[in-house]
């Protein structure tokens, strides 16, 4: 099979008519199955079309298993290689030129897809997007924006891993990009933007946050609420929380792991006695509602903001539902002109402070 050749399964796709989203059919801990299932349920609910990128036989097998109708707005793009979850990003980028990640991102580059979604190797998606798509003009570094559940609504935390060593000027750009994402995708009219630190006072924090505080305070396009901490995020008192990619990644992973630990411990305690087992049966619907409220898969994925193309990174353990939601977010990002807004926002901020060099 030739690199990038089109597969004729199935026929419903007409990319001139509606936006097409490419999705990495091979990515994620559970392989092809949840991706195909998620894509199919996305197609049932939304008008966009989908390109499944990966090994033809594998993808077709899943499509047949789901008895996918040939009239769906769907096609397969062959990609012969798969980047493993634990593989080095730079090695994958260099050696696997026909990986589903690379082929998918190239579809975006060539304009054949408006966005790319992958639950695969995050580092490889990031590195490939940065090399193939490049950054938006004037954006120095990209940022991954994670949507977190809070007591009230949700909140964007960025960067959660794209740029580990940051300059204050880059944190300002993250704030601008996160602010636009909160408006365009989360529908927040006046996002409150906070800088993640270790106390409310601007004198607390490290050298980076102290510098970034000044830059953010001067930025007139933002509603900057100052230094924030974990409690501000989870109580829902802030809509966008900005930090360097190292801190953000640690905070995100602590949150995920702690939530899992709490779930496991609670489960263990609830199954210890007959009484508590019975009680658990009676509270099951409450637990279900609760789980839905803190379910990361509702938000579908984290956009890689700042690159010149819409690229959504989903959790390696993404379920079909998470993939469906990631496709929805990808479609909305394209439809709401997220890239143009970010370009404009970053440019305007730079224009207004020509002497800034934080």
Q: From CA 312, how far away is CA 328, in angstroms rounded?
A: 10
Query: Binding a copy of itself by CB under 8 A: which of 7, 41, 98, 246?
Result: 246
Instruction: Draw the binding track, 104-133, toward a copy of itself (x: CB under 8 A; -: no contact).
Output: -------------------x----------
Query: In this chain, which stretch among 72-80, 161-169, 300-308, 321-329 interacts with a copy of itself, using CB under 8 A?
Result: 161-169
In the chain, where does DSSP find H-type helix?
32-45, 56-65, 89-95, 100-109, 122-132, 168-184, 207-218, 230-235, 245-270, 274-293, 320-335, 338-352
- Note whether 151 and 312 are within 8 A (CB): no
Centroid of chain to Cα 296: 11
For a copy of itself, the binding residue among 15, 280, 350, 353 (CB under 8 A) is 280
Q: Is 234 a binder of a copy of itself (CB under 8 A)?
A: yes
List, in order, residues 6 or more apart from 12 with CB less than 8 Å away. 49, 69, 70, 71, 72, 73, 74
Nearest to 342 by CA among 303, 300, 302: 303
Is there binding between residue 150 and a copy of itself (CB under 8 A)? yes
Select the residue interacting with a copy of itself from 65, 70, 290, 340 (CB under 8 A).
Answer: 290
Using the contact rule CB under 8 A, the part of the chain among 8-16, 224-232, 316-324, 336-344 near a copy of itself is 224-232
Q: How far is the CB of 192 from a copy of itself (least distance, A)?
A: 17
Per CB under 8 A, 153 contacts a copy of itself: no
Please list every residue from 179 through 198 that binds a copy of itself, using CB under 8 A: 196, 198
Residue 356 is a binding residue for a copy of itself (CB under 8 A): no
Residue 16 touches a copy of itself, criterion: CB under 8 A: no
Q: Pick from 2, 203, 355, 357: which binds a copy of itself (CB under 8 A)? A: 203
Give the N- to C-terminal CA distance of the chain in Å, as an integer.
Answer: 50
Integer angstrom CA distances of residue 194 from 30, 44, 95, 183: 36, 38, 40, 15
Q: Is 4 left (phi over 0), alpha (psi -120 to 50) or beta?
A: left
- Phi/psi for 350 (5° steps) reads -70, -40
- Choose which of 294, 335, 340, 348 interacts with a copy of itself (CB under 8 A): 294
Q: Does 352 bind a copy of itself (CB under 8 A)?
A: no
Give yes or no for residue 230 binding a copy of itself (CB under 8 A). yes
Show the binding pattern over residues 204-223: x = contacts a copy of itself (CB under 8 A), - = does not.
xxxx-x--------------
**Could you tell me the two tokens for 67?**
């008895």
- Decide: helix, strand or coil at residue 283: helix
For a copy of itself, the binding residue among 110, 190, 231, 351 (CB under 8 A) is 231
Residues that bind a copy of itself (CB under 8 A): 88, 123, 150-151, 161, 164-165, 196, 198-199, 201, 203-207, 209, 229-231, 233-235, 243-247, 249-251, 253-262, 264-266, 269-270, 272-273, 275-276, 278-287, 289-290, 293-294
């Amino acid at each position: 099979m030739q690199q990038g050749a089109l597969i004729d399964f199935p026929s419903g796709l007409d990319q001139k008519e509606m936006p097409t989203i490419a999705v990495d059919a091979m990515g994620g801990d559970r392989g092809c199955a949840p991706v195909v299932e998620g894509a199919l349920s996305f197609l049932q609910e939304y008008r966009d079309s989908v390109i499944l990128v990966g090994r033809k036989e594998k993808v077709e097998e899943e499509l047949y298993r789901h008895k996918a109708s040939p009239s769906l707005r769907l096609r397969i793009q062959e990609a012969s290689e798969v980047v493993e979850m634990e593989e080095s990003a730079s090695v994958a980028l260099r050696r696997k030129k026909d990986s589903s990640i690379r082929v998918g991102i190239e579809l975006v580059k060539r304009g054949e897809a408006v966005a790319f979604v992958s639950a695969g190797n995050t580092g490889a998606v990031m590195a490939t997007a940065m090399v193939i798509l490049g950054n938006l003009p004037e954006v120095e570094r990209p940022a991954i924006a994670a949507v977190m559940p809070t007591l009230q609504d949700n909140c964007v935390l960025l960067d959660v891993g794209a740029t580990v060593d940051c300059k204050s000027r880059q944190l300002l750009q993250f704030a601008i990009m996160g602010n636009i994402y909160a408006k365009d995708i989360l529908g927040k009219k006046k996002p409150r933007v906070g800088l993640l630190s270790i106390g409310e006072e601007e004198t607390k924090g490290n050298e980076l946050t102290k510098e970034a505080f000044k830059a953010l305070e001067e930025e007139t396009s933002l509603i900057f609420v100052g230094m924030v901490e974990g409690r501000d995020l989870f109580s829902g008192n802030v809509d966008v929380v900005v930090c360097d990619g190292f801190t953000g990644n640690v905070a995100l992973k602590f949150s995920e792991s702690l939530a899992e630990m709490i779930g496991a411990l609670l489960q263990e305690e609830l199954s210890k006695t007959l009484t508590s087992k019975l009680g658990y049966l009676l509270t099951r619907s409450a637990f279900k509602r609760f789980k839905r409220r803190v379910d990361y898969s509702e938000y579908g994925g984290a956009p890689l903001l700042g690159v010149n193309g819409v690229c959504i990174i989903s959790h390696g353990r993404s379920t079909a539902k998470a993939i469906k939601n990631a496709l929805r977010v990808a479609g909305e990002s394209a439809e709401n002109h997220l890239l143009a807004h970010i370009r404009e926002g970053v440019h305007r901020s730079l224009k207004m402070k020509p002497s800034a060099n934080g």
